[in-house]
Structure 1
Amino acid sequence: MSNTRTITDHLLWDQRIGFDRMKAFATNRQALNNSQAGINLFGIEKFPSISINNIDGVVGNSLGFGPGSNFSNEGMFQTRYSPSTNLNWVRGNHQMSFGFQYEFTQLNIINRANEVASLNFQTFADFLTGNLNGSSSSLLQGQSNRYYRSQQIGSYAQDKWKLRPNLTLTLGVRYDWDGPLVEKYGNLFNFDPTRYKYDPATDTIVNDGFIVAGNNKLFPTHGAGDSTLKGRQWGVGPRIGIAYSPLKNVVFRTGFGIYYDRGEYFTYLSPGAGSGISGPFGVTQEPPLVIPVTPTAGATLSQPFGTVRPPQPSGNPADFASLLPNIAALEGGANDFPFGSYDIHNQLPYTENWSLDLQWQPLNDLAITLGYNGNRGRHEVLPIPFNQPGIATPQNPIHGQIYSYGYQIAGVSAEQFNTFNGGNVDLRVPFIGYSPNAVAYRASGVSAYDALLLNVQKRFTHGFQFGGSYTWSHSFDESSALGLFYNGNNPLVPRDSYAPSDYDRTHVVSFNYTYQLPDFAPTKSLLGKIVDGWGMSGITVLQSGQPYSVVDFSGSIASIYYSFNDSITNPIVPLAPGVQPSQAVTGHSGAFPGLPALNPNFFAIPFIAPGTGGVPPCDPVTGTCDNFETGFGRGGRNIFRQGFQKRADVSIFKVLP
């Protein structure tokens, strides 16, 4: 809704207000509830997720039914209010503009995962007899809804100054404050590495670094704000533009500006999308507000969690601390915690944009534009595993570990442990108790984009218009397609993954045309209404394919860091030494079985030889060697490219009188 008021001939004032609401919620239909099925879940009537590991008893096929996805029975309801106002004032050679914009967003996350139990059985016979597998069954207890709020403020001032009839200078400045997320009831948590303390002498986590928002009425962390963030969430962006016309049919334009954008989003508060509590809604299923309950001894399908419902968690941070295992527990295979967070020191991401173009109109019906656009991105958000294990060596021990291994190989006496995530991975992390897959979304990335553009538009007689454009461009970054994973090499050294962006297209050629057929009969006649007014329009695009990489997160790459439990990175599989990307390309599309697009023989797993890089030497008694440890590769990101792509769209239209 908008309102415009003309105050004087030179002063115009407009006011606007916008409102939008979005809903995205997924649920499961069920033919019967728990009481009808004879399952006691303390009055909960949503049918559980049931899985059977070995359904046939021969080849180990599994079977699952019920709402087993991390994305069912949950969703979001978002409401946004956005009032704004602008004042335009013309005074002499100056055309000045001033504006202010405010946005208030409420994002309600409704997660009913605490109403859906997860029940697991080893075999089909166990399912028939109700013999529950307690180690893989759970029921979430607690408050799994969140009510996030955020505010944004933007204001600007701009002066378009006509210095000469053919020369215009535009100067402006904009202030942006993209307020961080807060939770209505203070149910917002984060991790502060400066607070974390571990005492190796007593094997005790003295301070887990866990912080609670300042507006939490029960357990706020001293010194924490309502958002828990400490980094600057505002920025001032200058703008400058020049337009110069040396001839009546020639215009030069150039400009520069700094543009800020929101960095924090709700999905960044969750662990990576691995197994268990994870995915975009994982943050609403984490301690201390939500605690998983495991089956009691002798649990059955009819009574999986006993007869009395366990007490609801209080939200006390001490409950979270009690879940973090120390080294002794990790050595025994205890599960560590896969925390997700938005780094408390993050600042707003921004881009520096600049442009230069020439527009020439040699004829009244012909316009040619030649230009350059570029930008540099700073403080871009990357999912960084802040607890990635270090490399322990005899010269650089970590928590008492002098070797590094992701797999425990029988016969290698130096490999004493097989922790929950594999080998001694969990014992080499910077923060004992947290998972190697714990993630902090950090505003530390950089990007670059440069493009040359040529555009030609020509109007012909008899209703025909034709245009064509060509763009040569390159886009580089350290990780693209930001989501739940880091796509690249070692995430602690993002520069090693600096390469063409996933969406980079070097060449783009496009043609557009419109042809209006002439009238064949008088417009007002019946025949004219049928045969007149027809036309055709179309667009044809020829463009380079997008680049892509070969990745493997199953343990073939970086096993020394993540074993086979990598839930946060998609590490690159490098080419063999001396091999060029063109040598690995077969010439096939890869769409048909037996005809791969790439030759696997030209790739090499980055094995780490025993006795080097932290890997234990071969056992002096048995002679057994750990030949299975791998590290990250170097380079190799987006070195391949899809085939050239062609698309043509044609439409036929009719203009009604």
Structure 2
Amino acid sequence: VLFHFLRNDAIQARQWLLSGEKSPFRRNQFGFTLDGPLSIPKLFDAKNKLFFMVNYEGLRERKNGISRTTVADQAMINGDFSGPGHLPIFDPNTIRIVNGQPTAQPFPNQRIPSNRFNPTFIKLLSFYELPNVPGAVAGVSGFNYERKSPNPVDWDQVTSRIDFNESTMSQWFGRYSWGSEFVGDGQTFPQQDLRAVTKNWQAMLANIRTFSPTLVNELRLGATIFDNDRASFYNFNRDVTSELNIPGLAPPIQAAWGSPQVGFDGNGFVAGWGETTEAPFVLRNRTYQLLDNLSWVKGKHSFKMGGEIASRRFNQLGNQFPRGFFQFPARYTADPANLGSTGSDFATGLLGWTQEATRALGIANTQFRQWSSAYYVEDTWRIRPNLTLNVGLRYEFTPAFQDRRRGIFNVKMSCPGVNDNGLDPTCPVPVLVRPGEGDFHEGLDIRMADRIPKATGDEVLGNHATIQTDKNDWAPRVGLSWQPVSKMTVRAGYGLFYAQDTGNPMWDMARNFGFRESARSLDVVPDVNLSNPWAGSGSNVSGLCKDWTGLCLSGLYTFANDTNRRTAYVHQYLMNIQYQLTNSMLVEVGYQGSGGHKLMRMYGWNDPIFRSGPTDNRTANERRPWGSDYYGRIQTIGSRANSSYQSGIAKVQQRFSKGFTYLVSYTWSKS
């Protein structure tokens, strides 16, 4: 069988409000299927014995999305903010306290002198786009920049299968699949475009063996390889970080090459630019499985039992903020006494004053390993011709992933650091815990300040994963089908299901060795400049790291997992009643609900508490339990969330002659 389906833009209308030529659209789906018996002449007769199937499917799609925004015009780039649509801008160098209130002087003629331009920001502008919509005015028109963002998709898949009837008592089959996918994700600006490349291979071998008419066993072996790369525009192509030479922003590995992200905040109308902070991410995952299911019929009982053993390898490389992130607020060029109607975020950028400069000094690189198993038994009992009961029990044993290279560290918390009165000075400082033997900083070219408590060893948090294994993952299941009268059927069921960790929560702790750090300016007078955003940070000031001359850090954004977190689980339950009103009409009413518990959620430790009042002038770091001398935010993942879903359904279905059927259904739900 051969097939090819084609769609294009030949008879499609232009997209709404799209100027210029119609966006191109091409979609081709094609492939073939070939199957039949296999035989070797004079050696092997495959009649009713050996069969094969090969299938190929491909997709090629080309289409554009429409992106519109406002970008700075040439006047703004030249420092001229006197045109229509602009708010008054003020010089942050003139901020003074008058009668207890901050005040500032406006820039003469609403123009910033070119000798005040920050040279690094000017370099960043070389990656910016200029207006391309004729007649549009920045700050007045709805947008002055438009782009047809490409979103290509290339997809291929091959599946092959062999079936072998060894005998009436034994059948074999094997399957091999390969897939490849490229997805382009066009963004507002060309330099923001993303791409995802996925490749997968899967092989499976199975045997179904009949020991007797009432006893059948199924055995399966499987292997899955999954590779996925999420990359940004300049990855492997251009080391923009080295070109910019921003102090403190270290050149990343080639997979993370690219430009920093620039963001704006507050009064202003222009879009930020630069590549995403969420790349690269490179996955090389492997899963190997052995499954066995045994079915046994005994009288009115149909028993089924079995299990699964799996080995999972979760290999991932990547991080957030490897190229840096800089956010420029309008308030630094606003009148401090009138923040709401003055200032420009782009003007702040020209001066180089940033409210946040975030960097990651490294790339997380893990080789997680996990052995897991699951076992089950169930019985379908036909108690009476009109009554069937199904009862089952499943047990899952899934320890947390362990990194074979000690590429993670967790946080040991003693108490939250706050109480009803505010900060709790009696609460001990949290301890950083790295599993395995050896020095905490082994293999690293960066140190964390000596004052930060550290520990190594699997025994500190109980095991090499630093997360306790939940050994209570029992999952009962029960189902009932009852026909009290010939025209009525009642069905009910309950089950408990576990959501096992996929590895991503654990991988958060690997990002700790990427050393994420943010420098933040004061609220009124800026003190973080693009010329040297992390001034003083990382230097071994006053011997923070004894006998060490390299980078020495404190106050880092830290990722943690609750060492006592449980496996998330969901109760699911339902009941419905079907009744046949006539020979052609069926009505049904039912209820379905679920309740989730111990679900994963993120929460933070060491966040700044609220100010005690208008006279509380403490900085954010001074309002943290352990201040920036130790930690920034400690972002933690734990089993702290719950969920609830309740629903009712009513349905009527009727069949008429000549194949006509109608169905009316209503569902009410609350979650």
Structure 2 CA distance, aligned partners of 1:432 and 1:32?
36
Deviations 1:234-265 (A, max 9, x none): 41122222222222332222222222222565
**Aligned partners of 1:359 and 1:369 also within 8 Å:** yes
Structure 2 CA distance, aligned partners of 1:259 and 1:293?
40
Structure 1 CA distance, aligned partners of 2:264 and 2:651?
60
**Aligned partners of 2:394 and 2:474 also within 8 Å:** yes
Structure 1 CA distance, aligned partners of 2:260 and 2:287?
35
Give matches, 1:565-580, under 5 Å. Answer: none
TM superposition shift of 1:157: 0.3
1:404 aligned onto 2:612: yes
The one-letter amino acid of 1:209's match is V
Corresponding position of 1:163? 383
Corresponding position of 1:355? 574
Corresponding position of 2:86? none
**Aligned partners of 1:381 and 1:441 also within 8 Å:** yes
Over 3 Å counting, the alpha-carbon distance change for 1:70 and 1:142 in structure 2 is closer
1:191 aligned onto 2:398: no
SS in 1 for 2:624: helix
Partner of residue 253 from structure 1, selected from 468, 484, 491: 491
SS in 1 for 2:400: coil
1:49 aligned onto 2:267: no
Structure 1 CA distance, aligned partners of 2:347 and 2:286?
49
**Aligned partners of 1:104 and 1:151 also within 8 Å:** yes
1:433 aligned onto 2:630: yes
TM superposition shift of 1:117: 6.1
Q: Which moved more, 1:135-144 or 1:173-182?
A: 135-144
1:344 aligned onto 2:542: no
Deviations 1:599-640 (A, max 9, x none): xxxxxxxxxxxxxxxxxxxxxxxxxxxxxxxxxxxxxxxxxx
**Aligned partners of 2:511 and 2:559 also within 8 Å:** no
The one-letter amino acid of 1:425's match is R
The one-letter amino acid of 1:266's match is N
TM superposition shift of 1:89: 0.8
Over 3 Å counting, the alpha-carbon distance change for 1:259 and 1:36 in structure 2 is closer
1:88 aligned onto 2:306: no
SS in 2 for 1:286: helix
SS in 2 for 1:462: helix
SS in 2 for 1:255: strand
Over 3 Å counting, the alpha-carbon distance change for 1:390 and 1:251 in structure 2 is same
Corresponding position of 2:645? 449
Partner of residue 175 from structure 1, selected from 395, 398, 402: 395
Structure 2 CA distance, aligned partners of 1:35 and 1:355?
57
User: How many residues are matched?
Assistant: 407
Corresponding position of 1:387? 606
Mark the runs of 5 or more structure 1 residues left unpaired by the alignment.
Answer: 271-282, 295-299, 325-335, 392-402, 476-657
TM superposition shift of 1:418: 3.1
1:25 aligned onto 2:245: no
Deviations 1:526-569 (A, max 9, x none): xxxxxxxxxxxxxxxxxxxxxxxxxxxxxxxxxxxxxxxxxxxx
Structure 2 CA distance, aligned partners of 1:126 and 1:356?
62
Among all aligned residue pairs of Structure 1 and Structure 2, give the percentage whose two residues are the same amino acid. Answer: 21
TM superposition shift of 1:209: 1.8
Give matches, 1:319-338, under 5 Å. Answer: 323-324=553-554, 336-338=555-557
The one-letter amino acid of 1:426's match is R
Corresponding position of 1:244? 482
**Aligned partners of 1:132 and 1:304 also within 8 Å:** no
TM superposition shift of 1:362: 4.0
**Aligned partners of 2:395 and 2:473 also within 8 Å:** yes
Over 3 Å counting, the alpha-carbon distance change for 1:420 and 1:374 in structure 2 is closer
SS in 1 for 2:283: strand
Corresponding position of 1:103? 310
Corresponding position of 1:213? 435
The one-letter amino acid of 2:612's match is S
Over 3 Å counting, the alpha-carbon distance change for 1:450 and 1:149 in structure 2 is same
Over 3 Å counting, the alpha-carbon distance change for 1:95 and 1:425 in structure 2 is same
Give the RMSD, CA atoms, in angstroms: 4.9
Over 3 Å counting, the alpha-carbon distance change for 1:459 and 1:262 in structure 2 is same
Corresponding position of 1:367? 586
**Aligned partners of 1:107 and 1:149 also within 8 Å:** yes
SS in 2 for 1:237: strand
Corresponding position of 2:210? 6
**Aligned partners of 1:351 and 1:376 also within 8 Å:** yes
The one-letter amino acid of 1:453's match is I
Corresponding position of 1:419? 619
Corresponding position of 1:468? 664
TM superposition shift of 1:98: 0.6
The one-letter amino acid of 1:21's match is F
Over 3 Å counting, the alpha-carbon distance change for 1:323 and 1:419 in structure 2 is farther
Structure 2 CA distance, aligned partners of 1:43 and 1:262?
33
Over 3 Å counting, the alpha-carbon distance change for 1:62 and 1:361 in structure 2 is closer
TM-score by length of 1: 0.51
**Aligned partners of 1:350 and 1:377 also within 8 Å:** yes
TM-score by length of 2: 0.50
**Aligned partners of 1:51 and 1:64 also within 8 Å:** yes
Give matches, 1:528-607, under 5 Å. Answer: none
Over 3 Å counting, the alpha-carbon distance change for 1:126 and 1:167 in structure 2 is closer
Structure 2 CA distance, aligned partners of 1:189 and 1:113?
17
SS in 1 for 2:207: strand
Deviations 1:288-334 (A, max 9, x none): x647699xxxxx9999999xx999xxxx999999744xxxxxxxxxx
TM superposition shift of 1:10: 0.9
TM superposition shift of 1:357: 1.8
Structure 1 CA distance, aligned partners of 2:650 and 2:359?
60
The one-letter amino acid of 1:378's match is H
TM superposition shift of 1:356: 1.9
SS in 2 for 1:258: strand
**Aligned partners of 1:39 and 1:302 also within 8 Å:** no
TM superposition shift of 1:26: 1.7
**Aligned partners of 1:48 and 1:118 also within 8 Å:** no
**Aligned partners of 1:195 and 1:209 also within 8 Å:** no
Corresponding position of 2:595? 376
Structure 2 CA distance, aligned partners of 1:318 and 1:472?
67
1:227 aligned onto 2:465: yes
Structure 2 CA distance, aligned partners of 1:317 and 1:152?
43
Over 3 Å counting, the alpha-carbon distance change for 1:432 and 1:177 in structure 2 is farther
Deviations 1:336-374 (A, max 9, x none): 333222211111122222222222234454333222222
Structure number with the higher strand fraction is 2
TM superposition shift of 1:8: 1.3
The one-letter amino acid of 1:381's match is M
